[in-house]
Each structure stands twice: as C-alpha cells, then as structure tokens.
C-alpha cells in the first residue's frame, strides 16, 4: 500500500528526480539519472525476472521492456545478504530482514546452557522465521515481554501444555501456545473445558451451607465434567449451559438452606415455591433436580415445572428487514462484520458454526457468490453479496505465521483459530440481535421449503429444523426465489419474503 508521499521541495532541490519528476533530495546517481530516496527504495523493493536477461531477484533498473537487474541496468547497489546471499533489501550489517529475524529467533529460543534450541521448539523457530512479513516478525520479537517469555520457554526441555501454564500468564504465552498447536508441537487443547475447570474453583465458596458442598461436588463431577470430558472439545453452548446450570443449582441449594429444607425432605410444594418465587431462570435447576432424583437424594416423584415453549425472542419481519438494511450499510460495520451479519440474517446461521467457514466453502463468480454451509452451495443474493465480494478481494489478517494456510474466512488473533464467536456477536449486536435474527430467518425459511432440503442446505439436522417448521411441500426453487425476494429487503417499502 502506498503511503502518502511527503511534500516535494522545488526551492531546495531544483533538479527533478529522473524517475518521478518530483523535486526531492537525490539519493543516487544511476545510469538513467538522479534518483530520489522514494524511487530508490521502490527500485530495491522491485523483485522478479529481469526483462532483458531472465535473472531472478531485485530489479532496480528501468527499460522499455520492463524492470531490469543490476547487470543489465548498470546500477551498482549493495543488495546481497551477507548471510544467505539472496538479493534483497538489506536491513542491518549487510543482512536481509529475514536473516536478522532468524538470528533473533535463534537467540531467543536457544537454551542458555547448551546454546541449542530444544527439539520441541524447532518447528516454532521455523514458523517464526518464515513469517511472510519478516519486518512484522522483527517488530514482534523485539518487544521486551516477548523476549522474556521466549527465553523462559527456551529453558523448558520438552514442551507440554502444563509447562506453558506454569509460565507467567500473558497474551504472548497464549499466542505462542497457539503457534505450537498450529505447527503440530502441542495437541489442540479444549479451551472451553479449561476455562470451565478454572471457573469451578470459586463455585463451592458460593454455598451458604458447607453441608451442601459434597452434593454439589458430586453433581459437578458426574453430571457435567464427566460428560464434557467425554465430548471434548466442548462447544461454547455446552460451556455456557453448564455454567448456568451450576449457578442456578447453587442458588437452589442456598434457597433450601434459607428455607431450612434438606434434600431428603424436599417436597413438590417446595419445588413449585422455588420455581414461581423468581425469574424463569429458576427452572434451570431442573437439571440438578433430575440428577439428584436419579441419585436417590430426593424423592422420586419430584418434577420441575416446564418452560413455556417458543418464547425465545426473535425479530419480526419488519425488524429483520430493518437489520438487513443496516447490515448493508458500509458505514455501520467493517466488511468482515457485515459479511457475518449477512449469513445470520439471510441463512439463519449460528455464529459458532459460521466462524469456522473456510474460503474453500466460498465461490465468487461474476453472477453470484456461493457459500456452502454444510450442504450444496447456496447463492448469496445481491445486494447482500457485496460484503462477500469485498472480503474475498481483501481477506484480512492472513499474512503472518498465525494463519499460514489462509483458509479461514474469519481468522482470529490466535494462530489457526477462527475469531471468537462471542466477540463477533458483540461486534454485530449493535446492528442485530444475532440469535433473534437467526430464529426469525429460520422461521421464514422453513415456511418455504421441504424441511429436509432446507436443513441440508443450511447444515442443520432435519430434526432441529422440524421444530421450527410448520409448513412443508414447497420446492427448493421456491426457496431460492424467496431468497432473492429477501434481497429486495434492502429497498425500503418492499416486503421481505412476500408470499
């Protein structure tokens, strides 16, 4: 990207640069004339195959056939790296950026005693050295806190998650951990399970009666941890549900304590009193009650009153249309956020699944942008595809060691990991309430197509979608037509999904 050029000074520099014609200080006298600093730097950064002799490397010369090498242009320039010998812009002491970075990486990761890099750390060293932009790598590794962290990592003989845990907590630590996972040194770790286990540490202290701590501990271990570990990696949804179920179970136990009711004495009247004595959140104690019943800790006849069904908030058609219009406004959100919002609004996608989308699931053609959400490619109707075309032309954040494969559409700050769905939800919630919008879109879509077709196309299981569906029989073509109608929602006054 071109930086703004500093203003020229025709008074101080009367003779113009032979290349750009601007009046600037002369940096070199080359066969084609005096050359300013800006043109000299640009010349050094021009790389490729010489237009005259097929030499590959830096091409500082100009000719009518194209850029030329030093030999063909007669330009004398020190661009041979003293270490690797490659032709490149030199950074310091005759060394190229990449070689300077490599020296710093080796220095930081070598064990102070042996002077060697531990075998486990070699893939990390290679990854850091081969970052696409060596200058960004240099900026990163020079930071004092990064140096301190890497030197403590260098003293670790073999790399395991628990050894990294033992190093001081920092974003650098987690960044390096993710690099180690991406490059196969460490296995993928279940981050939600870890966060959950950490969260559990403070839970027993919330009990008002120590008499309940044994039952709580059993409940957590057998009804939550055991199941979560069996299904690792844990999803964000499971993590949040478990946290809430345990929080409400603690409240329920504390309520019993205040009411001086023991588990063994708990009656259906008490359960009803608990359930109706506060918000509907109290009903979430059902999971604890069911577990306690199976364990024989409470009477076998106890039942928690049921949730009313279908009360999850969803956007009305008008609200959805309004949100869609806003999702199209480039001033309201970044292109990445708009692209995500479009999939929520048009296809009712969950953010948790959406963030894992790969570029190979997206096909951009002059006519339409197709996205595969677990089934056949679906066209994103115009004008919703604008954000996707823009994002495709300019995918963010993929030039570093973090995302070597450039495959994730929504790369996060951690290497190889997608953006955190909770973070993304926060980014777009000013515009749409993601969950509500999703349920709203599903509501409309399920009216339009046979459940199996719609489910397959959207990557939902038919059973999940069936709970939303109340009318089948329409064809897939009708569904696609309706999606096109949805696009017209951007035009004020047109009803979305006219039927």
Q: Which residues bind Zn ion (CB under 5 A)?
A: 17, 19-20, 36, 39, 50, 52-53, 55, 69, 72, 81, 83-84, 96, 99
> Which CB atom, from 90 or from 355, has the smaller least distance to Zn ion?
90
Minimal distance in Å, beta carbon 87 to Zn ion? 9
Task: Transcribe 92-107 into DSSP letters.
Answer: ETTEEHHHHHHHHHHH
Would you give the end-to-end CA distance of the chain in angstroms? 48
Three-state DSSP class for 484?
A: helix
> Which CB atom, from 81 or from 275, has the smaller least distance to Zn ion?
81
Minimal distance in Å, beta carbon 410 to Zn ion? 35
Measured from the Cβ of residue 26, the count of other Cβ atoms closer than 10 Å reads: 16
Minimal distance in Å, beta carbon 8 to Zn ion? 9
Between the alpha carbon of residue 288 and those of residues 9, 110, 219, 252, 301, the distances in Å are 77, 52, 7, 9, 14
Of 42, 69, 41, the closest CA to residue 54 belongs to 69
> Which CB atom, from 42 or from 163, has the smaller least distance to Zn ion?
42
**Pairwise CA distance, residues 489 & 324, whole Å:** 7
Minimal distance in Å, beta carbon 28 to Zn ion? 10
Helix H or strand E segment including 371: strand 369-371
DSSP β-bridge partners for residue 87: 80
| Two tokens, residue 29 | 């006298």
DSSP-derived pairing of the beta strands 47-49 and 56-58: antiparallel
> Which CB atom, from 55 or from 353, has the smaller least distance to Zn ion?
55
Minimal distance in Å, beta carbon 17 to Zn ion? 3
> Which CB atom, from 92 or from 268, has the smaller least distance to Zn ion?
92
> Which CB atom, from 72 or from 225, has the smaller least distance to Zn ion?
72
Minimal distance in Å, beta carbon 60 to Zn ion? 11
Minimal distance in Å, beta carbon 121 to Zn ion? 22
Map tokens 């070199």 to a residue. Answer: 28
> Which CB atom, from 126 or from 319, has the smaller least distance to Zn ion?
126
Report CA Rg, the chain.
31
CB burial class (10 A; 0-12, 13-18, 19+) of residue 285? buried
Minimal distance in Å, beta carbon 175 to Zn ion? 25
> Which CB atom, from 58 or from 81, has the smaller least distance to Zn ion?
81
**Pairwise CA distance, residues 352 & 240, whole Å:** 13
Q: How many residues does the chain have?
A: 499
> Which CB atom, from 48 or from 267, has the smaller least distance to Zn ion?
48
What lies within 8 Å, CB to CB, of 51 at 6+ separation is 59, 63, 65, 66, 67, 68, 72
How many Å separate Cα 118 from the centre of its chain?
30
Minimal distance in Å, beta carbon 97 to Zn ion? 8
DSSP-derived pairing of the beta strands 26-30 and 378-380: unpaired
| Two tokens, residue 305 | 């009153």
> Which CB atom, from 55 or from 363, has the smaller least distance to Zn ion?
55
SS (H, E, C) 248-304: HHHHHHHHHHHCCCCCCCCCHHHHHHHHHCCCHHHHHHHHHHHHHHHCCCCCCCCCC
Minimal distance in Å, beta carbon 82 to Zn ion? 7
Helix H or strand E segment including 58: strand 56-58
Minimal distance in Å, beta carbon 393 to Zn ion? 30
Three-state DSSP class for 117?
A: strand
> Which CB atom, from 53 or from 166, has the smaller least distance to Zn ion?
53
Of 387, 375, 392, 409, the closest CA to residue 479 belongs to 375
> Which CB atom, from 137 or from 421, has the smaller least distance to Zn ion?
137
Minimal distance in Å, beta carbon 154 to Zn ion? 23
How many Å separate Cα 328 from the centre of its chain?
21
**Pairwise CA distance, residues 442 & 468, whole Å:** 7
> Which CB atom, from 20 or from 207, has the smaller least distance to Zn ion?
20
Minimal distance in Å, beta carbon 151 to Zn ion? 24
């Amino acid at each position: 990207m071109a930086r703004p050029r500093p203003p020229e000074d025709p008074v101080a520099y009367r003779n113009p640069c032979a290349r750009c014609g601007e009046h600037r200080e002369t940096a070199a006298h080359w066969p084609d004339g005096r050359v300013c600093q800006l043109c000299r730097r640009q010349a050094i950064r021009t790389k490729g195959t010489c237009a005259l002799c097929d030499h590959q490397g830096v091409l500082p010369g100009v000719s009518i056939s194209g850029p030329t090498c030093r030999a063909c242009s007669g330009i004398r320039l020190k661009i041979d790296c003293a270490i690797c010998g490659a032709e490149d812009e030199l950074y310091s002491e005759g060394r190229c950026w990449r070689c300077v970075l490599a020296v710093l990486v080796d220095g930081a990761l070598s064990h102070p005693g042996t002077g060697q890099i531990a075998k486990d750390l070699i893939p990390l060293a290679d990854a850091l050295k081969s970052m696409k932009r060596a200058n960004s790598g240099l900026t990163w590794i020079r930071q004092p806190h990064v140096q301190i962290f890497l030197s403590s990592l260098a003293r670790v003989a073999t790399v395991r998650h628990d050894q990294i845990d033992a190093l001081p907590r920092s974003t650098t630590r987690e960044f390096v951990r993710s690099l180690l996972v991406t490059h196969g040194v460490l296995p993928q770790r279940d981050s939600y399970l870890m966060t959950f286990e950490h969260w559990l540490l403070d839970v027993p202290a919330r009990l008002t009666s120590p008499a309940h701590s044994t039952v709580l501990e059993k409940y957590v271990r057998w009804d939550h941890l055991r199941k979560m570990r069996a299904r690792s990696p844990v999803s964000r949804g499971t993590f949040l549900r478990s946290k809430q179920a345990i929080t409400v179970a603690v409240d329920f136990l504390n309520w019993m304590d205040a009411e001086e009711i023991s588990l063994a004495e708990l009656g259906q009247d008490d359960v009803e009193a608990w359930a109706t004595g506060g918000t509907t959140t109290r009903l979430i104690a059902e999971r604890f009650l069911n577990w306690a019943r199976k364990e024989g800790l409470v009477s076998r006849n106890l039942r928690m009153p049921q949730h009313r069904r279908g009360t999850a908030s969803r956007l009305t058609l008008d609200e959805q249309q309004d949100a869609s219009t806003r999702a199209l406004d480039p001033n309201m959100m970044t292109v990445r956020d708009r692209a995500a919002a479009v999939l929520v609004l048009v296809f009712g996608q969950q953010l948790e699944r959406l963030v894992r989308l790969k570029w190979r699931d997206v096909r951009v053609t002059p006519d339409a942008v197709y996205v595969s959400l677990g089934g056949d490619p679906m066209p994103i109707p115009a004008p919703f595809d604008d954000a996707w075309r823009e994002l495709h032309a300019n995918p963010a954040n993929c030039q570093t060691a973090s995302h070597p494969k450039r495959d994730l559409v929504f790369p996060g700050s951690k290497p190889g990991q997608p953006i955190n769905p909770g973070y993304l939800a926060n980014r777009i919630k000013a515009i749409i309430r993601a969950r509500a919008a999703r349920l709203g879109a599903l509501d409309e879509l399920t009216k339009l197509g046979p459940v199996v077709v719609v489910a397959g196309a959207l990557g939902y299981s038919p059973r999940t979608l069936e709970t939303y569906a109340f009318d089948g029989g329409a064809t897939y073509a009708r569904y696609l037509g309706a999606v096109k109608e949805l696009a017209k929602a951007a035009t004020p006054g047109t009803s979305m999904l006219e039927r």
